[in-house]
Amino acid sequence: MSIKGLKIGIVGGSISGCAAACAFLRNGCEVEVFERSSHGLKDRGSGIDIPAPLRAELTTRGYLPRDYVYCESKTRWWQFPDGSRIGRRLWTQPSPSNANN
């Protein structure tokens, strides 16, 4: 069965939505991604934060360009808003990941 030429609508522009869109485009589909945010996604935290092995897999398969800029992280900080600029740190945990902003 060929999916070439199908019109695909994807709800949500997260990493999975964008990866699905890329896969459908590569198979000849017409794709539109619907994102509910009415503003640009600039200044939305760390961007797309994914485990390092997943980033390597997505790069190997061509979903992310090899020269795509990212920030490597080894630790995740859990913060609680307390009125200060950065909040109070509740705990830290190991969390090797890559953030693409």
**Nearest of 36, 49, 62 to residue 97 by alpha carbon:** 49
pTM for this structure? 0.47
Confidence at residue 44, expressed as pLDDT on a 0 to 100 scale: 53
What CA–CA distances, in Å, run from 72 to 2, 3, 46, 61, 64?
39, 37, 11, 20, 15
Residue ranges in the chain whose pLDDT is less than 50: none
Confidence at residue 100, expressed as pLDDT on a 0 to 100 scale: 66
- For the chain, what is the largest distance between any 2 Cα atoms, rounded to a whole number of angstroms? 57
Residues composing the chain: 101
